[in-house]
């Protein structure tokens, strides 16, 4: 006798799915999608090719199941901002980054992907010389910003031009206004008055997509904002000094799906104004927002190229295995 939730032959039918809308409204109940019918991007090494990650393990075609890419307008012609040239970084005797070379361009979002410990965060932190704050760190090769070797630049001045937003939102324990005004006051030769900073603060909040939500009370304590608002405040603070490059280290890992969606839309929009480099473990996120992707493994840059190519037709076996879930 066949159960109500079984097909002939004993195959179980997936239970219905209850969908909760992100923007309010009532939940809906829909039939679950059969995994066999799930839309996928099939990578090289699929059925009939023993080189595929899943195929090699007897699991059939290797697939990257992807959400739609977020293309908000079309990017302008990309402009080179930074160039990483044969960069190697070690912590003591342990090599963390091994001879990596790649460009960083305004007009593009560059996503650094790879398993934990592969060197992507070390590479990101080296772009504004945060890595050198670790006493055991040593570096070979060079990084160029608008034609200048960053090793010749004063670190504080460099970090105004190449700013970073970290994994956990870290607003200062002061008002929304003062969080953004703080960095403007720090770079001024004389401490400007609040009235003189109004335009710059509001502009930074607008660029971060936060102004409309806080404009009624800029004196509101920053620590009382939601997690997503706090992260956008940190992005506004980073943008206030008009940097050339914006570095993002897992900026959505601590956020809910709705806040993540807002941040992702913001990142795609910002690529027109600033070169964006993001480290993410979320392959779906990298596919949604990145123009170019760099896949790193054990400190080595395995593959670099357009996001559609990295996720749709990777050239390297290790890339193919990683994006299809063979390891991580």
pTM over 0.85, yes/no: no
pLDDT digits (tens, 9 = 90+) for 124-165: 999 999 999 999 999 999 999 999 999 999 999 999 999 999
DSSP per residue, 20-84:
--TTSS--EEEPPPPGGG---EEPSS-TT-TTSHHHHTTS-S-EE--PPP---S-----EEEEEE
251-279 tens-digit pLDDT: 999 899 999 999 999 999 999 999 999 99
Q: Does the pLDDT value for residue 228 go beyond 90?
A: yes
Residue appearing with tokens 């912590």: 91
Give tens-digit pLDDT for 292-313.
999 999 999 999 999 999 999 9
58 phi/psi in degrees, rounded to 5? 85, 15
Answer positive or negative: Cα dihedral of 158, 159, 160, 162: positive
> What residue segments make up the domains of the chain, in order of their start?
79-323
Please give the CATH superfamily to which domain 79-323 belongs.
P-loop containing nucleotide triphosphate hydrolases (3.40.50.300)
Segment holding 166, helix H or strand E: none
CA distance 175 to 169: 15
pLDDT (tens digit, 9 = 90+) per residue, 188-227? 667 778 888 999 999 999 999 999 999 999 999 999 999 9
């Amino acid at each position: 006798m066949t159960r109500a939730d079984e097909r002939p032959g004993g195959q179980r039918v997936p239970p219905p799915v209850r969908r909760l809308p992100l923007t309010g409204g009532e939940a809906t109940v829909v039939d679950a999608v059969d995994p066999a019918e799930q839309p996928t991007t099939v990578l090289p090494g699929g059925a009939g090719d023993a080189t595929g990650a899943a195929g090699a393990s007897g699991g059939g075609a290797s697939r990257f199941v992807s959400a739609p890419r977020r293309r908000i307008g079309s990017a302008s012609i990309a402009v080179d901002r930074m160039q990483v040239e044969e960069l190697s970084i070690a912590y003591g005797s342990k090599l963390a980054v091994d001879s990596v070379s790649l460009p960083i361009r305004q007009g593009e979002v560059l996503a650094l992907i790879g398993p934990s410990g592969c060197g992507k965060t070390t590479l990101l932190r080296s772009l504004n010389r945060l890595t050198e704050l670790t006493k055991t760190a040593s570096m070979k090769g060079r990084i160029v910003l608008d034609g200048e070797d960053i090793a010749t630049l004063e670190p504080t001045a460099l970090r105004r031009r190449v700013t970073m937003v970290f994994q956990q939102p870290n607003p200062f324990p002061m008002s929304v206004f003062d969080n953004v005004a703080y960095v403007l006051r720090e770079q001024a030769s004389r401490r400007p008055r609040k009235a003189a900073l109004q335009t710059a603060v509001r502009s930074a909040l607008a660029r971060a997509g936060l102004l409309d939500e806080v404009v009624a009370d800029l004196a509101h304590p920053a620590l009382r904002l939601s997690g997503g608002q706090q992260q956008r405040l940190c992005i506004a603070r980073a943008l206030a000094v008009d940097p050339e490059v914006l570095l993002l280290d897992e900026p959505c890992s601590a956020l809910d799906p709705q806040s993540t969606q807002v941040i992702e839309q913001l990142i795609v929009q910002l690529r027109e104004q600033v070169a964006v480099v993001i480290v993410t473990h979320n392959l779906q996120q990298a596919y949604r927002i990145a123009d170019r992707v760099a896949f790193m493994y054990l400190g080595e840059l395995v593959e670099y190229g357009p996001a559609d190519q990295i996720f749709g037709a990777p050239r390297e076996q290790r890339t193919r295995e990683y994006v299809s879930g063979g390891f991580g």
